Amino acid sequence: MEEKKAEIRVGDIIRLKKAHPCGSREWQVLRIGQDFRLKCAGCGHQIMLKRREVEKNMRTSGILLANRENKEYNKTP
């Protein structure tokens, strides 16, 4: 088990340090592989980003787990 970082799944919304020119920092994960395909949540533009770049960009800014919020984390305390 080498992966200790947060798992990213297709459909997740992640927030990157890198902002798109449209101003949005949130990206929806469309495909996961050696390269990630990300869709800008602001304007819908799609980019390819290397896994390493994604992880590096996420390390400081964290992930927005929009999907999982609804399913797992949305439990009332």
Tell me the closest approach of the beta carbon of residue 18 to Zn ion, in angstroms. 11
Structural contact between residues 45 and 20, judged by C-beta atoms closer than 8 angstroms? yes
Instruction: Say how far residue 42 (Cα) sits from the centre of its chain.
Output: 14
Tell me the closest approach of the beta carbon of residue 2 to Zn ion, in angstroms. 32
> How are strands ordered across the β-sheet holding 26-31?
46-50, 35-40, 26-31, 13-15, 63-64
Tell me the closest approach of the beta carbon of residue 75 to Zn ion, in angstroms. 32
Per CB under 5 A, which of residues 18..77 are in contact with Zn ion? 20, 22, 24, 40, 42-43, 45
Can you give the binding site for Zn ion, defined by CB under 5 A? 20, 22, 24, 40, 42-43, 45
